[in-house]
Amino acid sequence: MQRSSGHTTAPQRKLRYLLEGTAVLLITILASAVLALHLTRPPVAYGQERTDLGETVQARVEAVLDEQKTHDESGLTMVFQTLQLRILTRGPYRGEVITVEYSGMGPTLSAIRFREGARALVMISELPVLEETDQGEVVYQVADHVRLMPLALVGALFAVVTVSVGRWQGVRALLGLALSGLVIGGFIIPQILAHRDPVLITLLGTGLLLAVTLYLIQGWNVIGHTALLGIFVSLGATALLAILATQVTLLTGFGSEETLFLQALGVGIPMRGLLLAGMLLGAAGVLDDVIIAQALTIFELHAADATLPARELYRSGMRIGVIHLASMVNTLVLAYASTALPLMILFYFYPEPWHLALNRELIAEELVRTLVGSTGLMMAVPLTTAIAAWVAPHSRREPLTDA
């Protein structure tokens, strides 16, 4: 990190020590809590070893024994194939050659048909043992195409573009992305499965994640410390708002098929807590972006004119923040709408008034999720602007970002 020249006054040193000490204290508390919860996590009674749900393996298409294709009235293509497959995944079925009936439907034939040499995902289920034969029947079903290689190519392209455009900042962003996957998959999900409180676990996990990624991208400086305070305050306010909103709207968390399936599996997770955890995860990423941008804006304004008082910095920052906020709220709404588009179209044909359709929990969950996230953004802008407007005039001027 580049160092700036110039004399640092005693009040500036006190403020810097206060901000650094607060940041160290908050991160230490979060890291200690996360580590303690990880080390004391009780064993999970269920997981990916659920053999009663079957096993998914990869197989290679040795031959296409038969193929028929048709088109329905809407123009979709349907294909029916008889495939000879060789199982590739290690295990008791490896090397076995099977013949499976497959049917697929999609926009084009090339997107759904299997060709010789292609790879397929196969689900293997063992039916209960029959008393008369003392043997169980093994059922094979083609589940999907194997698209790991195209996914890897798209991911590699993303990484190359990120590093090419962002350089070291891009590398740090990729590290933050990897850390996000580690925290969510290695801490939040296992802790929730261990019957720990989903809201508390998500707050601790996302809080530590946002703190680490913030300093990875922004660096250890006064702007990062200011943004950290804004993130924690805004995340806490969003959590309180989400809890209140779900209670007032009488949401149970059972508004989607996935939660019903989890319940049928016997996973004793509080579904309302899982709904709240999802809201916090969805809002955290957007809060991170808005808060860092707002803190940088205030410090840029102060760097351009160091004579601006805190009140004028706040007013100028809010004028910029409101414009950014309007676009981010719309982005959040569109992001949620994109995932719920098939559902919205389905309810369009449902024989009941639109305002009653909105009342259904399946729709109400998405509405509350969107409104809570948007309201959290609206609160984050003035909160972060106020903190940054107070800190900037009392801090030493230094480079805003690392080289």
| Domain 10-41+163-394 shares a fold with domain 51-146 | no
User: Is residue 137 within 8 Å of 157, Cβ to Cβ?
Assistant: no
pLDDT digits (tens, 9 = 90+) for 308-321: 888 999 999 898 88
Helix axes 222-248 and 10-39, enclosed angle (nearest 10): 50
Give me 99's structure tokens. Answer: 């013949």
**CATH class, 51-146 region:** mainly beta
Taking all residues of the chain, what is their mean pLDDT, rounded to a whole number?
Answer: 84
Contacts of 289-292 with CB under 8 Å at 24 or more apart are 289/328, 290/321, 290/324, 290/325, 290/328, 290/377, 290/380, 290/381, 290/384, 291/227, 291/230, 291/231, 291/234, 291/380, 291/384, 292/214, 292/217, 292/218, 292/227
What one-character DSSP code corresponds to residue 307? T
User: Is residue 139 within 8 Å of 125, Cβ to Cβ?
Assistant: yes
Give the start-to-end residue ranges of the domains of the chain: 10-41+163-394, 51-146
Whether the pLDDT of residue 185 is over 60: the answer is yes
Cα gap 169→107, rounded to integer Å: 40
- Of 161-165, 184-188, 281-285, the poorest mean pLDDT is in 281-285
In the prediction, which pLDDT does 7 show? 57
Nearest to 113 by CA among 81, 150, 75: 81
What SS3 class is residue 265? coil
pLDDT digits (tens, 9 = 90+) for 369-397: 888 888 888 899 999 999 999 998 877 65
Give me 250's structure tokens. Answer: 């009488």
pLDDT digits (tens, 9 = 90+) for 231-249: 999 999 999 999 999 999 9
pLDDT digits (tens, 9 = 90+) for 55-81: 889 999 999 999 999 988 777 889 999
- Amino acid symbol at 37: L
DSSP symbols for 129-189: PPTTTS-PPEEEEEEEE--HHHHHHHHHHHHHHHHHHHTHHHHHHHHHHHHHHHHIIIIIH
Give me 95's structure tokens. Answer: 């090397």
Residue corresponding to tokens 């995932």: 339
Give me 403's structure tokens. Answer: 């080289």
- Amino acid symbol at 228: L
- Amino acid symbol at 402: D
- Dihedral angle over CA of 211, 213, 217, 220, nearest 10: 30
User: Is residue 193 within 8 Å of 47, Cβ to Cβ?
Assistant: yes
pLDDT digits (tens, 9 = 90+) for 331-367: 777 777 777 777 777 777 766 776 777 788 888 888 8
User: For the whole model, what pTM was predicted?
Assistant: 0.80
Judged on CB neighbours under 10 Å (0-12, 13-18, 19+), 195 is: middle
Grade residue 23 by pLDDT with cuts at 50, 70 and 90: very high
Cα gap 358→184, rounded to integer Å: 31
Give me 198's structure tokens. Answer: 């989903």
Cα gap 363→134, rounded to integer Å: 48
Instruction: Classify domain 10-41+163-394 at the CATH topology level.
Output: Multidrug efflux transporter AcrB transmembrane fold (1.20.1640)
Element (H, E) at 51: none
In the prediction, which pLDDT does 128 show? 66
